[in-house]
Amino acid sequence: MRAEDAQAFETELKRSETLSARTAELMKSNQPFADAFAPMLDEAPLERMESRLAYLLDNTPSAPIKRLFRLAAVR
């Protein structure tokens, strides 16, 4: 995990009770998750995935904007 991703996760972990509970539950397990997913992560098309994510973030209206459109449609 990159440093900025780790920081974003830590921030969300402190903010979200749901994420915190899920993470705590996963940490109780002794399953070899890293071993199970490492081959898939090694083969993941990171460049393509990051490009797609950037596109979606740039082209998806935020929730407040969506609410404004709904309000405008009602009036």
Could you tell me if 21 and 53 lie in one domain?
no
Could you tell me if 19 and 36 lie in one domain?
yes
Could you tell me if 1 and 36 lie in one domain?
yes
Measured CA to CA in angstroms, residue 20 lies from 11, 17, 56, 60 at distances of 11, 5, 26, 27
**Which pLDDT score, from 0 to 100, does residue 63 have?**
61
Number of domains into which the chain is organized: 2
pLDDT digits (tens, 9 = 90+) for 27-44: 888 888 888 888 988 898
Could you tell me if 28 and 40 lie in one domain?
yes
What is the domain extent for residue 53? Answer: 45-75
- Could you give the CA distance from residue 34 to residue 20 in angstroms, rounded to a whole number? 19
Could you tell me if 25 and 35 lie in one domain?
yes
The more confident residue out of 14 and 65 is 14
Q: For the whole model, what pTM was predicted?
A: 0.41
- Could you give the CA distance from residue 18 to residue 24 in angstroms, rounded to a whole number? 10
Q: How confident is the model at residue 45 (pLDDT cuts 50, 70, 90)?
A: very high
Lowest mean pLDDT: which of 28-32, 44-48, 61-65? 61-65
Could you tell me if 64 and 39 lie in one domain?
no
* Mean of per-residue pLDDT scores for the chain: 82
